[in-house]
Amino acid sequence: SVPLSFFGGIGGASRDGILVKGGNYLEVLAKAEIVVFDKTGTLTQGVFNVTAIHPDDCSEGQLLELAALAESWSDHPISRSLKEAYGKELDPARVSEAEELSGRGVRAVVDGRTICAGNDKLMEDIGVSWHPCHRVGTTVHVAADGVYLGHIVISDQVKPDAKEAIAALKSQGVRKTVMLTGDAREVGEDVAGRLGLDEVHTQLLPAGKVEQVEALLKQVSPKGALAFVGDGINDAPVLSRADVGIAMGGLGSDAAIEAADIVLMDDKPSKIAHAISIARRTLAIVR
C-alpha cells in the first residue's frame, strides 16, 4: 500500500507508474546531476539462480536445505531465491532466533544448531575460514556452530532495460552514474561494466552506502542534485539521505516506500530518465 501523501496526479507521472510524494521532489529530480543506484533488485532482477553447490562435509541437498531453513523467515531477495531453489516445504518449527545481518547474511538456530549463511564478511565476523571458491556469482557460505559446511553459488541477472536506462540518463546530461552494492567486488564490477556505469563501490554495509552518498553529495554543484534509487532492502538509510530517494515499489519493502520521495510501481530503471523528463517538462510549464 502506498501512503496518501503521494500526490497522484503530478504531471501525468502517476499514469506512468511514477508516484511522487509532493511537488518539490519534481523540482529536485529535474536537476539531478548524480544518480546513484543500489544493485540487487534495482539494476538486477533480485532473483537468483543456484549455479553450484559445494558442500564440505554433507550432501548438496543437505547444504541447500540448511541454508533455506536459516533463510526461511527473511524477505531478502537471496533468502527468497534459496527457498525457491530448495523447492520443498520448510518446517518453521525447526527454526528459531532468526536474525538478519544487514549486508552480510543471516543467522538462525536450526534444529538446535546456530547456522550462519552469508558472505565472506560474515564468515570473517564469526571467525570461520572457507576454502577459496571460484567466483562466477554471489557466494553464500554456510557454517554450523562455527564449523564451515560449504558454499552455494548464486547468480542474478541485470534487468532487461538497465543498460538503456543508464544510457538515457547520460543523454539527458546526468553527469555521473554510480552503483553501490554489498556484493563482492567481482560481481559488482562485472555488472557495472556491462551497464556502463561511471563508478562502482562494492562490499558495502548499509552504513558504508550512506558514507559513499555523503561523499558524492559533496560533488554536486549548487544547482544540481543527487538521486538515489534502491529497493529499500539494506538501503533505506541512503534513500532518506539523498536529495531525492527513489524506491522500486514492486519488490520494495514498506520501509522503502516510507523512506522514499518517489516510488516506481513497475521497478523499471528506465523510468528514472522518464521521470526526469516529466519533471523538467512539468517545471517548464509551471514557470
Q: Which residues are catalytically annotated?
A: 38
Site for ligand ADP in 166-185 (CB under 6 A): 181-183
Question: Distance between CA 45 and CA 139 in Å, rounded?
Answer: 17
Residue 279 CA neighbour count, 13 Å, CB half: 24
- Between 40 and 74, CB nearer to Mg ion: 40
The rounded distance, in Å, linking the Cα atoms of 201 and 42 is 15
With respect to Mg ion, which residue has the nearer C-beta, 138 or 234? 234
Rg (CA), the chain: 20
Given the complex with ligand ADP, which of 106 and 273 has the nearer CB atom? 106
Instruction: Give CA separation, 1 vs 76, 152, 271, in Å.
Output: 19, 35, 20
Q: Which residue is nearest to ligand ADP (CB)?
A: 182
* Of positions 81, 138, 212, 282, contacts ligand ADP by CB under 6 A: 138
**Interface with ligand ADP includes 106 (CB under 6 A)?**
yes
Give the H or E element holding residue 190. Answer: helix 185-195
Stretch binding Mg ion (CB under 5 A), from 53-61, 203-211, 230-238, 279-287: 230-238
What's the first-to-final CA gap in the chain, in angstroms?
Answer: 33
Q: List 143's β-bridge partners, or say none.
A: 116, 148
Q: How many CA atoms lie within 13 A of 262 on its CB side?
A: 35
190 contributes a contact to ligand ADP by CB under 6 A: no
| CA 275/CA 277 separation, integer angstroms | 5
Query: Taking CB under 6 A as the rule, does residue 103 contact ligand ADP?
Result: yes
Kindly state whether residue 202 participates in binding ligand ADP, applying the rule CB under 6 A: no
Does residue 234 touch ligand ADP according to CB under 6 A? yes
- Binding partner of residue 116 among ligand ADP, Mg ion, none, CB under 5 to 8 Å per kind? none
Query: Binding ligand ADP by CB under 6 A: which of 33, 38, 190, 261?
Result: 38
Compute the 3-state secondary structure of the chain and give helix, strand, coil in percent, each to the nearest 5.
35, 25, 35
Q: Is 79 in the site for Mg ion (CB under 5 A)?
A: no
Rounded to whole angstroms, the Cα distance separating 152 from 62 reads: 12
Q: Provide the Cα torsion 262, 264, 269, 274; round to 10°.
A: -70
State yes or no: residue 249 binds ligand ADP (CB under 6 A): no
Nearer to ligand ADP, 13 or 153 (CB): 153
Report the distance separating Cα 254 and Cα 1, nearest Å: 8
Stretch that binds Mg ion, among 44-52, 64-72, 80-88, 225-233 (CB under 5 A): 225-233
What's the closest the beta carbon of residue 105 comes to ligand ADP, in angstroms?
A: 4
Site string for ligand ADP, 50-89 (x = CB under 6 A): ---------------------x--x-x-xx----------
Q: Which residues bind ligand ADP (CB under 6 A)?
A: 38-40, 71, 74, 76, 78-79, 103-106, 117-119, 138, 140, 181-183, 233-234
